[in-house]
Amino acid sequence: MRVLLVGGGGREHTLAWKLSRSRQLKQLYIAPGNPGTVQLGANVKIKDNDIVGLVRFAQEKKIDLVAVGPEDPLAAGLVDALSDVGIRAFGPTAAATAIEADKAFAKKIMHSSSIPTAEGRTFDNFRDARAYIASRDSAVVVKATGLAKGKGVFVCDEPSDGILAAEKIMVDRVFGDAGNHVLVEEKLIGQEASILAFVDGHNIYVMESAQDHKPIGDGDTGPNTGGMGAYSPAPIVTEKLISQIEREILVPLVDGMNRNDTPYKGVLYAGLMLTAGGPKVLEFNARFGDPETQPILMRMKGDLLEIMTAVCDGTLDKIDLSWDPRPAVCVVMASGGYPGDYEKGKVITGIEDAEKNPDVKVFQAGTKTQDDKLITNGGRVLGVTAMGANISEAQSRAYEAVKMINFEGAYYRKDIAEKAMK
């Protein structure tokens, strides 16, 4: 099969690495890709939001399957445009992507489907949002309802901080049009977990669990980021809990999307809070999570291309996956200053040394090549991922690999996967 993978981040490097191992793969193109993906296929100089250019390329190269990584082209209707010209595409339609792109829509679907989630209200102007938050006497979570690269969520222990967050989103417009509306929710208490599932419109295949680390600082302190590391599996997510999540969240969501005439195909990501009253939904994403993809796909033994094809064709019930029982840990190395301002162009060394261990893989995200050197080109630069006999060994290997890699101002959390060992 000729496959076009859309995207250029750490998630896409991981997907390209997994797809390149498929026995069914004839040619892999990645648009735009990064210096890591160029070793696995042919990078194509087309931006991931160039819908017309991507469709034209897929037609010219007679692409058999397009796999869409990031949320922006999904929300912009890339899958719809490809379907219109008869090209199979892995990912939800623009209407179904609203489960991530429009948090107000997601709340509506959850409420109509009786899916457990935080109580909340949506506002389209700052004045009303401020008045509501001021009337609260407990912690709130303030979210930009649109796509904000994982950074549009503010957890505020004091209502006064919630007002400042709403002002930043709606008045200062720090997330642009993604902040046209805000969602104000109650703060849920518990541990977070990420559950990803393949969905073909009717059938659901739940992948191994993972746990992300959103805040920038150790001990989950500081502002939220796109994710500073992850591990899989999450010991707190038991088989009994997976069954409950599937029964009370995933199945009702897929049924609700069908009733809404927005059938869902692709990867469904459920970000959950495991509360004393059971699992509750924090958010849904319409694609693979980043950095959860790195440890999950390191452990997946099956053929990803075969699975993607089954999702497109509605035959997911015929697929059987197996998983490496060994845990995997991913530590994100970021540019100093992220998620705020940071400098680019810092030379990266040591990746080859880190990958000499066969249980270590370094996935590139914010990188590019210049004068035959690999340099930083984003906030989250690398996802250093390792496997081990247990979570402690996987963590040790990941941090040993991190210490072999150098670039000026490199920052990473020192406590990824500590939760799994407590």
Tens digits of per-residue pLDDT, 368-381?
999 999 999 999 99
Domain presence at residue 414: yes
List the Cα angle 89/193/203 in 5-degree steps: 40
Boundary of a domain, candidates 93, 108, 143: 93
What is the pLDDT averaged over residues 248-256? 98
Question: Looking at residue 17, which CATH number applies to its domain?
Answer: 3.40.50.20
Residue 205 tokens read as 């295949």
Boundary of a domain, candidates 265, 295, 318: 318
User: Per the structure, how many domains does the chain have?
Assistant: 4
Q: Are 83 and 129 members of one domain?
A: no
Q: Are 201 and 296 members of one domain?
A: yes
Q: Are 312 and 334 members of one domain?
A: no
Over residues 229-245, the pLDDT tens digits come to: 999 999 999 999 999 99
**Could you tell me where the DSSP H helices lie in 61-197?**
71-75, 78-84, 94-101, 103-112, 126-134, 159-170
Residue 67 tokens read as 């796999």
What is the pLDDT averaged over residues 69-87? 97
Q: Are 168 and 260 members of one domain?
A: no
Q: Are 169 and 208 members of one domain?
A: no
**282 pLDDT higher than 90:** yes
Domain presence at residue 263: yes
- Give the H or E element holding residue 294: helix 293-299
Q: Are 311 and 203 members of one domain?
A: yes
Domain presence at residue 186: no
Residue with tokens 């004045």, as numbered in its chain: 127
Domain presence at residue 116: no
**360 pLDDT higher than 90:** yes
Q: Are 209 and 303 members of one domain?
A: yes
Q: What confidence score (pLDDT) does residue 150 get?
A: 72
Question: Looking at residue 172, which CATH number applies to its domain?
Answer: 3.30.1490
Domain presence at residue 105: no
Q: Note whether 185 and 120 are within 8 A (CB).
A: yes
Boundary of a domain, candidates 318, 343, 372: 318
**315 pLDDT higher than 80:** yes
Residue 159 tokens read as 């209502």
Give the lowest-confidence range in 17-26, 78-87, 115-124, 348-357.
Answer: 115-124
Q: Are 205 and 133 members of one domain?
A: no
Q: Note whether 35 and 12 are within 8 A (CB).
A: no
What is the pLDDT averaged over residues 96-104? 95
At 149, the pLDDT band (50, 70, 90 cuts) reads: confident
Q: What confidence score (pLDDT) does residue 270 get?
A: 97
**Strands 328-334 and 380-387, sheet pairing:** antiparallel
Question: Looking at residue 412, which CATH number applies to its domain?
Answer: 3.90.600.10
Over residues 152-175, the pLDDT tens digits come to: 889 999 999 999 999 999 999 999
d(CA 217, CA 7): 27
Domain presence at residue 36: yes
Q: What confidence score (pLDDT) does residue 407 get?
A: 98
Q: Note whether 232 and 343 are within 8 A (CB).
A: no
Q: Are 311 and 201 members of one domain?
A: yes
Q: Which domain holds residue 171?
A: 125-180
Taking phi over 0 as left and psi of -120 to 50 as alpha, with beta for the rest, 98 belongs to: alpha
Percent of the chain as helix, strand, coil, to the nearest 5:
35, 30, 40
Q: What confidence score (pLDDT) does residue 224 get?
A: 87
Domain presence at residue 106: no
Q: Are 228 and 304 members of one domain?
A: yes
**Strands 42-43 and 65-68, sheet pairing:** unpaired
Q: Are 174 and 200 members of one domain?
A: no
Give the lowest-confidence range in 34-38, 144-148, 334-338.
Answer: 144-148
What is the pLDDT averaged over residues 345-362? 97
Amino acid of residue 234: A
Q: Are 142 and 236 members of one domain?
A: no
Rounded to the nearest integer, the mean pLDDT of the chain is 96
Domain presence at residue 119: no
How many CB atoms sit inside 10 A of residue 179's CB? 22
**137 pLDDT higher than 80:** yes
